Amino acid sequence: MSARGDAMTIIAKEKHRLAYQTPDFVITQIDLDILLDENHTKVIAVSQVRREGNHKNSLVLDGEELILLSVRVDKKEATYRLENNQLHIDNVPDSFELTIETEINPAANSALEGLYKSGAAFCTQCEAEGFRRITYYLDRPDVLARFTTKITANKAAYPILLSNGNRVASGDNLDGSHWVMWSDPYPKPCYLFALVAGDFDVLKDTFTTKSGRTVSLELFVDKGNLNRSQHAMNSLKKSMAWDEQRFGLEYDLDIYMVVAVDFFNMGAMENKGLNVFNSKFVLANPESATDTDYFDIERVIGHEYFHNWTGNRITCRDWFQLSLKEGLTVFRDQEFSSDLGSRTINRIRNVKIIRGPQFAEDSGPMSHPIRPDVVMEMNNFYTLTVYEKGSEVIRMLHTILGETLFQKGMALYVSRHDGQAVTCDDFVQAMQDASGIDLTLFRRWYSQSGTPVLNITDEFDAVNQQYKLTVKQHTPPTKGQADKQALHIPLSVALYNKYGEYLGEQYDQVLNVTQEQQVFVFSDVADKPVVALLQDFSAPVRLEFTYEDQDLFLLIQHSKSAFIRWDAAQTLLNKYIRLNVERFQQNKELILPPSLFSVFAELLRDQTLDKSLVAEIFRIPSESSMAELFDDIDIDAIHAVKCFIENAIATQLHELFMESYQSNKTGAYQLIQSDIAKRDLVSVCLMYLAIHGNERDQHIILSHYQSADNMTDVLAAMQAAKQGELSIFAEMMLAFEAKWKTDGLVMDNWFRLQATSPSANCLSTVKSLLTHPSFSMQNPNRLRALIGTFSAANSYRFHAIDGSGYVFLGEILAQLNKSNPQVASRLITPLLQFKRFDTVRQGLMKQELQKLAGQPDLSRDLFEKVSRALAE
């Protein structure tokens, strides 16, 4: 692979944010003529090139995995040099037409970047730097060109030929091929280019924009899948309406197309007017998809649609600015989901991601600010930090400015920068200019990596009736950043009295923490209050505050914020997780406070609570999020404590789970909020019943499975049976496999169940499944479902003390290093944290990393992560 090389060449490729330079040349127009063929696709690119600034530099274009056929400058054969994946053309005029002919091999493209085959179809993925695998080009986001694309292909095999913009012409050739010409009126960076060719079923609809224009909506799915495409179409229409209502942003082209493909490295891609989607985020019907699948489809359809403004019309100047579009668009999709569904439940689920895997990333060898400073392989920076923490940073701005000023800032940002490629600083500047609020200090969130810690102590002065909070902030050092500065942290707090009564709005405030230490005083407080801290998780920080159990119980029972009720339960559980891990290590008996059972029982009995909230409270943190409570991870202790807590709750509240199961069981399937919440709670009840596991419990689980008319209920029963290691699990798995074995997306659930099995032979099962007919090493969804789940979501088995889990993952990564480095680079994550484990595991994990480091053809993707981890 020509983009790869030995360690030294790779190091030379490290790029720095501050080294940004404006391009020497721009391309204003590119006309592509693409003759599709499985192994010999021909690409003729005619570009209008213009020199920028006063210099005599050569034109240097990026290209990878290309066969160069010819280069012409103003129609004349040109001389050129090929050096390190770049095409150099010396002595070019200031303005000229450049014609480049290349040949590519889409069928051999297993990396799924550039033009490749997904099953029978051709499709593309160009972000971040995939366009250079289609033709030699100025592959950088600040070069914006108008594109026309003529696609020619065999008509019988590829009746549908798509690209960005509007379809302007088409025709048939005598040899059985046909062609379609597309023209995109909006100048765009090449990462937004897309091409799709294949034989699809199409679902058509229209949307009328607020200014009265009719937009054609077309959703392309594999033949036979139309009955699974309606929800995605509904989601698209909801997204378009929501962006008009909440952000005042209207769609700009006459057509919006979405294509679902089976082979895709990530979720979806926002190519202008032609989104390409992983079929996982398009296809759903009640029988084959869960409530979570439905939710995710709506969320991802929204996310890609919202990029049309935040990403496409206004794009990134360089890739270091990725969070400009991703953090903002994640914030927008979270708000969309929250406006359409439950704000609290959305917030809880997003916060779990930050506190779990994002905090882990923040403290590990790949730790980086939301706007990274050094990048080797850009694909490695589509991270939880850039996306999810990036969204938290936007959310903090929203909290500080309020909705009105935030929207004023958005409007200014859009009007000021429409059609441009800009920076995160430009965004913050627009927010500051529109609001009049000084954001100088706030900008540090863009440059500082790591998770800030807020250490809070309180004091009650009965004589003066004052309640004081002393807030200290510090951010532990991270890779490349030893010294940290104070950040602007919005800290939302509210006070309650000892009966759990809310003290009123003057005691419910967002405090602006801006210094290393600050004291905040509340006056006229009659008795020592109970404080709810970091309401709605108002900042992505770790909180240190010593709560008495009784105060947490009070917040769980009485807080007027549903989020705080959940969060207080988390804090209580975390307190006992920490304590019990220590007790386990000291060989002491594990304990829980007796009131936990009575307070939790009340929650189950309370008919007024959102069922999903109750479900979330009863979901004990996963072992990997428990790990985030500790600097040094004790896998065995964490596993024991998790089992202990779940067993204790299952035993103590057994009858209540039985009752709650019966009263929340839903009738015929409906995709409505109240039923979704009930199914959620039912799945938790089933899980506890399975852990308890007597004959009656087993009977309930089996009959739940047998009578289910939807995938959510089917999987709830199977998940429970697996967790309780019940004998009925094996039969369920066999029946499921027989029914779904030809449907990869549905089988992913089955692979995930296998991969998360608590059973001691889990790894050998996972290994044997590599040859299962439904599995494929070429399909990223299958890889993530089986291997990704085993190594990231089954910590106890993956971290087996004999190192077998590590060796297994190491071997898989060595294989994927060649075929699909991007996916390999995602799957390696659990190995990177080796420093936090005991010496035996550390040694074994390190051994696997070293083996990878010794691979002669290590991809840039893996090299960056392995070398950063080993350098720690």
Q: Which residues are part of the catalytic machinery?
A: 304
**Which of ligand B3K, Zn ion, none does residue 181 bind to, with CB < 5 to 8 Å depending on kind?**
none
269 part of the interface to ligand B3K, by CB under 6 A = yes
Of Zn ion, ligand B3K, none, which one sits near residue 379, judging by CB under 5 to 8 A according to partner kind? ligand B3K
- Can residue 303 be called a binding residue for ligand B3K (CB under 6 A)? yes
CB 90 within 8 A of CB 79: yes
Find where tokens 């969130």 sit: 445
Smallest separation, CB 585 to ligand B3K (Å): 41
When asked if residue 410 is in the footprint of ligand B3K (CB under 6 A), the reply is no
DSSP characters for 452-491? -EEEEEEEEETTTTEEEEEEEEE---BTTB-------EEE
- Tell me the CB-side half-sphere exposure of residue 834, using CA atoms within 13 A: 24
Q: Which does 382 bind (CB under 5 to 8 A by kind): ligand B3K, Zn ion, none?
A: ligand B3K
353 binds, among ligand B3K, Zn ion, none (CB under 5 to 8 A by kind): none
Helices (H), 485-561: 549-558
Q: Which CB, 249 or 650, lies closer to Zn ion?
A: 249
* β-strand pairing of 453-461 with 542-544: parallel
Q: Which of residues 107-146 bind ligand B3K (CB under 6 A)?
A: 127-128
With contacts defined by CB under 5 A, how many residues of the chain interact with Zn ion? 2
| Residue among 307 and 692 whose Cβ is closer to ligand B3K | 307
For residue 382, state whether it binds ligand B3K (rule: CB under 6 A).
yes
State the nearest-atom distance from the C-beta of 698 to ligand B3K, in Å.
Answer: 43
814 lies in the site for ligand B3K, by CB under 6 A: no
Least distance CB 504 / ligand B3K (angstroms): 42
Report d(CA 172, CA 154) in Å as an integer.
Answer: 10
Q: Does 333 bind ligand B3K (CB under 6 A)?
A: no
Mask for 327-346, x = binds Zn ion (CB under 5 A): --x-----------------
Q: Does 342 bind ligand B3K (CB under 6 A)?
A: no
Three-class DSSP category at 26: strand
- Helices (H) and strands (E) counted in the chain, each on its own, are 31, 31
Element (H, E) at 88: strand 86-89
The stretch near ligand B3K (CB under 6 A) out of 52-60, 99-107, 267-275, 497-505 is: 267-275
Separation of alpha carbons 565 and 831, rounded Å: 35
277 binds, among ligand B3K, Zn ion, none (CB under 5 to 8 A by kind): none
697 binds ligand B3K (CB under 6 A): no
- 484: nearest Cα among 362, 335, 342: 362
Look at residues 128, 139, 145 and name the one whose alpha carbon lies nearest to residue 61.
Answer: 139
Q: Which residues pair with 139 in a beta bridge?
A: none
Q: Positive or negative CA dihedral for 439, 440, 446, 449?
A: negative
Identified binder of ligand B3K from the candidate list 279, 312, 350, 379, rule CB under 6 A: 379
For residue 320, CA distances in Å to 62, 76, 324, 379 come to: 18, 37, 9, 11
Among 266, 353, 374, 643, binds ligand B3K (CB under 6 A): 266
Stretches 20-28, 264-272, 346-354, 528-536: which one binds ligand B3K (CB under 6 A)? 264-272
- Answer yes or no whether residue 331 interacts with ligand B3K by CB under 6 A: no
Task: Give strand ranges (E) for 354-479.
Answer: 374-375, 421-422, 453-461, 466-474
Contacting range for ligand B3K; rule: CB under 6 A; set: 262-270, 685-693, 709-717, 855-863: 262-270
Q: Choose the stretch contacting ligand B3K; rule: CB under 6 A; options: 167-175, 303-311, 337-345, 598-606.
A: 303-311
- 469 touches which of Zn ion, ligand B3K, none (CB within 5 to 8 A by kind)? none
Q: What is the closest distance, in whole angstroms, from the C-beta atom of residue 586 to ligand B3K in the complex?
A: 46
Number of residues that bind ligand B3K (CB under 6 A): 12
User: What b/e string do you get for 365-395 counting C-beta neighbours within 10 Å, with b at 16 or more?
Assistant: bbbbbbbbebbbbbbbbbbbbbbbbbbbbbb
Pick the stretch among 24-32, 282-290, 324-332, 341-349 that binds Zn ion (CB under 5 A): 324-332
Q: Tell me, what amino acid is at 381? A: F
62 contacts 27 by C-beta, under 8 angstroms = no
Residues 6+ apart with CB under 8 A from 706: none
**Residue 646 binds ligand B3K, judged by CB under 6 A:** no
Question: Closest separation between CB of residue 303 and Zn ion, Å?
Answer: 6
Alpha-carbon distance values, 23 to 37, 57, 58, 218 (Å): 33, 11, 12, 36
For the record, the structure tokens of 177 come out as 């091929």
Name the token pair of 626: 């428990």
Q: What is the DSSP letter of 23?
A: -
Does 442 bind ligand B3K (CB under 6 A)? Our answer is no
The reply on whether position 666 binds ligand B3K by CB under 6 A is no
Q: By the criterion CB under 6 A, which residues form the site for ligand B3K? A: 127-128, 266, 268-270, 303-304, 307, 326, 379, 382
Q: By the criterion CB under 5 A, which residues form the site for Zn ion? A: 326, 329
